Amino acid sequence: MNIRELAGFTKPYSQINREERNYAAIFYATLLHGSNLEKFIDVSGSPYKNIDEDFGVYFEYSFLRDIWANIQGERANEIKKLIIKENLKIKDIDHLLNKNVEEFNKYFGVAGEPSKDYIQSPGRWSLSKFNQNIKSDDDFVKVCRFKWAFNIKPDLVIHLNSEEAICIEVKHSSGVGCYPSKSEEKEIFTKRHEGNLVKQTELQTYMMKELLGIKTHFVIIATKQTKSDTHDTFSWESIFKVLDVSFLPKYATDMLAVIGAIQ
C-alpha cells in the first residue's frame, strides 16, 4: 500500500497544502490580473503608488544577488571591493582590501575553493569560518547581516518604479523566520550577539532600504495575527476580499478557502 492508502487520505492535495511558496505564487498570479494590483496597493496602505515603465512584480526576489553576478569586466573586483567597503564599514576593511583576491576570499571563508581571480559573493561567506578571523563582536554582526542580505529572498516585491517598491512576506502557519538557522551557527552567533537572532523582516528592511537604496513599504500577509515593528500585517481575508479571483482554477481557490482568504 502507498502512503496515501495507508493514511486513508482521499482528498486532493490543494486541501492540505501548507507550502507558503505555493500561496505566494497564487498571490503573484492574482496581482497580475485585471485591476488587482491597483486594488492591492490601495488596501496595503502603501505611500508609494506611482507606477511607471520600470514596473515589475518579482517572485522570490533576488535583486542584490543578481546585481553582484552582473558586475563584469576589468574593473569588476575593484567595484566589488568598493561595494563591500562602503556598505560593510568594519574596522579592518582597508587592510582587508589590500589583500590579494584569494586571501580576501579566504578571510571570509567562502564555501568551497576560494577564487584567485574574482571577489566571490558575500552570500557564500561562511559564518563559522569568518568567526575565527573577526575579533570585534560588532563587526562580526555586521558581516553576518551583510552576508544574509545576499541570501534572503522576499516572497514578492513589487517595483512600482526604479526607486519605490512594496516588499511582501507571505505566511501560512509559520511565524517570522530568524537568522542564522543552523544549530552550529546559532550557537556561535548568540554568544557574540547577546543571545539575539536576526529576524528576516529586519534583514528585508536592511537590504531594500540601505543596500539597494529603494524606498519600500513592507507587508506581511498571514493566517494568524503577527506583530512587526517594520511590516504592516494583514490577514489573507482582508487582502483577498478586494481582489478578483474569478479567473483562478478550482485548486487555487480551494487552497485560498483553506486559509480563509475567500469563502
Is a pLDDT exceeding 80 seen at residue 188? yes
End-to-end CA, the chain: 35
Contact criterion met (CB below 8 Å) for 51 and 160: yes
* Grid cell listed for 208: 531594500
Q: How confident is the model at residue 194 (pLDDT cuts 50, 70, 90)?
A: confident
- Quick: pLDDT tens for 132-164: 999 999 999 999 999 999 999 999 999 999 999
Instruction: State the Rg of the chain over Cα.
Output: 21
Q: 3-state DSSP call for residue 57? A: strand
Q: How confident is the model at residue 225 (pLDDT cuts 50, 70, 90)?
A: confident
pLDDT of residue 93: 87
- Quick: pLDDT tens for 80-133: 999 999 998 898 888 888 899 999 999 998 877 899 999 999 999 999 999 999
Q: How far is the C-alpha of 23 from the C-alpha of 259, rounded, in Å?
A: 10
pLDDT (average), residues 184-198: 93
Residue with cell 576589468: 74
Q: Which pTM value belongs to this model?
A: 0.93
Q: 3-state DSSP call for residue 157? A: strand
> Helices in 108-198 by DSSP H: which ranges?
127-130, 137-149, 183-192
